[in-house]
Chain A
Amino acid sequence: MKIHEYQGKQLFRKYGVPVPVGIAAMSAEEALAAIPKVQQQSGSEVVVVKAQIHAGGRGKGGGVKVAKTKADAEEAVKKIFGMQLVTPQTGPEGKKVQRLLVEQGLAIEHEYYLGMLLDRATGRNTVMASREGGMDIEEVAEKHPEKIIRMSINPATGWQDYQSRELAKALGITGKVANEFAAFMRPLTRAYDELDMSLLEINPMITTKDGKVLALDAKINFDDNAMFRHPELEELRDPNEEDPSEQEAKKWDLSYIALDGNIGCMVNGAGLAMSTMDIINFYGGSPANFLDVGGGATAEKVTAAFKIITSDPGVKAIFVNIFGGIMKCDTIAEGVIKAVKETGLKQPLVVRLEGTNVDLGKKMLAESGLNITAAADMADGAQKVVKAAKEQR
């Protein structure tokens, strides 16, 4: 689960990680009212108006404005709130800005990059940092990988102060500021661990002219598998950032991603689901979605999945591709039949069933009287569904 920068900074405050003074606003009016408050609380005239969307590269897309005066800040609020912000990470359609963060503008001495995430290769969390922080970090990583420092976190001890001292040295942070950096890293690594984050990125982390270390940006993802431990974090979910079908899918614990094509897919297992997309593409078709019904699905869940697929107006044909293991074919059949009985079936449906209880599943579909095209195998099913989708046009 992803959260906004301002929410991340609220968590930082709670843990004692230094961040600038800031107020989040859900409307332009609220943002305008926040400007003098931030100026007053921070004692400085300069404020920064920041678009709150779940994507990076906002600065480059015009979603972050450093304003020297109140008038400039007001202009920035009017311009950014409601805009369709396009950044390298939003896709060409961009994202509508519906929340703003009005924040104290700081006198930056230097911008650093700081990231934490799991390194699959070692099975440990890793801290990545660079002196070349700011908005061009991916370019730095590509052209000068040696400028990114990585340090692994020992699962038994957690992050240690000596690592902060070593990292400070490598980043060129010296003297008393190095101690500030260690004091910054302590609560940060604790928050990462305790809250089951799967990604924590601060770009930039800054040093100020008066020797402070602060987080100016906060990008946080939580491990979806650990959300059961943190019911309080559920509140931070922003429904505007999620596709409605994807939200409905989440309710049913289905893994669903909407795509641009016209062949709806229902598959069990992420690997088979991805490969089903591959083979549809191979035969000249184009998938409308990725949908993994998962292992222990009930008939109700399958019905919900099927309804999500058929509710997409772009879907011209449907391919159900199941190789049952923990997922039983009769459960799939039961769910599909129920969904079709409840909502009807406007599109051609191609079903390939194999695996646990396959004979029972096939029998149920055959006896249901539904207009279903059976497929002998994956290639046969993909070809049939691609053909069916083309004929629908």
Chain B
Amino acid sequence: MSVLVGFDTRLVVQGMSGSAGAFHAKQMVEYGTKVVAGVTPGKGGSKVAGLEQVPLYDTVEEAVRLAHANTTVIYVPPPYAADAILEAAAAGIETIVCITEGIPARDMIKVKYVLDNDYPGVVLVGPNCPGVITPGQCKVGIMPGYIHKPGGVGVVSRSGTLTYEVVGQLTKLGLGQSTAIGIGGDPVKGTDFIDALAWFANDPGTSSIFMIGEIGGDSEERAAQFIADHIDKPVAAFIGGQTAPPGKRMGHAGAIISGGKGAASDKIAALKAANIAVAQTPAEMGSTLAKVLASASVSA
């Protein structure tokens, strides 16, 4: 079992003829992902080198109608990415994974508003994220596939490369992953910790969870509360940026809106208060979860 992506995923790659899109489309095909179509406006009908077996269309609508795509991954440059997300939702895609980094906040505010109101059933992961992988089944994004291994740990992370770090550590310890979700670090995004945690809670294939947060915002604090209230599975966590110097500030609004939340110490305290084991260094993420699992099996 898994969440979001798996054997049923039929993937369309938006921006497949670009260099990042083409490179990662090939990697996804190699991993075993069913890449059923590519979309690049104006290039429909042509071929992408190395991906000759994948039809290229002008629109996502064609990818859905002709190739039965149900999931998209977006490698479109920032100025056009918001449009690409909305096109996918309008075409009936159920799961949208947006890799693009650097989308203006104003664009994402509108995208989020439209998705929430007009397409409540559509899941957006990202933007500015590494994607989603269900090891052994399906990889949607840019993560290196070979570090993963099928298993029971659900991973959710705000940071791309730290996700690889924890997955690499877990795999070395023999702890495979059910699904790893990079939710991305942008201020306005689709899936947040709480969404992913709820999916993992309901997924019979997920037996424990690792969560990676970062300084800033208060979604880790809210996630800690959610875990305390709703999740029985073992959870371990890490917060990046514990020694980051306070940014050079201008004005007071940032301090006022966060209401004193957002520092690594606040987040760690909130997690510990919810009985979640927090790794002390990024090198100990995997071993921290392993310890939690060992003590859980002793007491069970």
Note whether A and B form a binding pair: yes
* B113 contacts across to A, CB distance below 8 A: 123-124, 155-156
* B99 contacts across to A, CB distance below 8 A: 326
Given known A-B contacts A138-B255, A277-B244, A282 and B105 have beta carbons under 8 A apart: no
Is A271 located at the chain interface by the 8 A CB criterion? yes
Least CB distance from A56 to B in Å reads 5
Question: Which listed residue (A128, A219, A229, A275) contacts B240, Cβ 8 A?
Answer: A275
Q: Which residue of B lies closest to A224 (CB)?
A: B102
Least CB distance from B149 to A in Å reads 15
* B215 contacts across to A, CB distance below 8 A: 274
Question: Which listed residue (A120, A193, A225, A277) contacts B102, Cβ 8 A?
Answer: A225
Chain B, residues 161-173, CB within 8 Å of chain A (1/0): the string is 1101100100000
B161 touches A271 (CB 8 A): yes
B240 touches A379 (CB 8 A): no
A331 to B143, CA, bound (A): 16
Is A236 located at the chain interface by the 8 A CB criterion? no
A337 to B104, CA, bound (A): 35
Least CB distance from B80 to A in Å reads 11
Q: Which residue of A lies closest to B130 (CB)?
A: A325
* A326 contacts across to B, CB distance below 8 A: 20, 24, 99, 130, 142
A125 to B143, CA, bound (A): 32
Is B50 located at the chain interface by the 8 A CB criterion? no
Interface of chain A: mostly helix, strand, loop or mixed: mixed
Given known A-B contacts A120-B187, A155-B109, A201 and B104 have beta carbons under 8 A apart: no
CB proximity to B under 8 Å, residues A150-201: 155-156, 193, 196, 198-199, 201
A120 touches B217 (CB 8 A): yes
A121 touches B218 (CB 8 A): yes
Chain B, residues 226-268, CB within 8 Å of chain A (1/0): the string is 0000000000001011111100111111111101100000000
Is B283 located at the chain interface by the 8 A CB criterion? yes
* B105 contacts across to A, CB distance below 8 A: 118, 196, 198, 223, 225-226
Is A269 located at the chain interface by the 8 A CB criterion? yes
* A358 contacts across to B, CB distance below 8 A: 144
Is B185 located at the chain interface by the 8 A CB criterion? yes
* A90 contacts across to B, CB distance below 8 A: 248
Is A234 located at the chain interface by the 8 A CB criterion? no
A270 touches B101 (CB 8 A): no
Q: Which residue of B lies closest to A113 (CB)?
A: B252
New A-B pairs, 19, CB < 8 Å, besides A89-B250, A270-B159, A271-B162 = A56-B251, A115-B253, A120-B216, A124-B109, A156-B113, A223-B105, A228-B78, A271-B158, A272-B160, A274-B214, A275-B282, A278-B281, A279-B281, A294-B101, A295-B101, A323-B168, A325-B142, A325-B160, A325-B164
The residues of B with any CB-CB pair to A shorter than 8 Å are: 20, 24, 27, 78-79, 99, 101-106, 108-110, 112-113, 130, 141-144, 147, 157-162, 164-165, 168, 185, 187-189, 212, 214-219, 222, 238, 240-245, 248-257, 259-260, 280-284
The residues of A with any CB-CB pair to B shorter than 8 Å are: 2, 54-56, 89-91, 113, 115-121, 123-126, 128, 137-138, 141-142, 145, 148, 155-156, 193, 196, 198-199, 201, 203, 219, 221, 223, 225-226, 228-229, 257, 259, 267-272, 274-279, 281-282, 290, 294-296, 323-326, 354-356, 358, 377-379, 382
Q: Give 9 A-B contacts (CB < 8 Å), ordered by A residue.
A: A117-B254, A118-B109, A123-B187, A126-B257, A155-B112, A201-B251, A225-B104, A270-B185, A379-B281
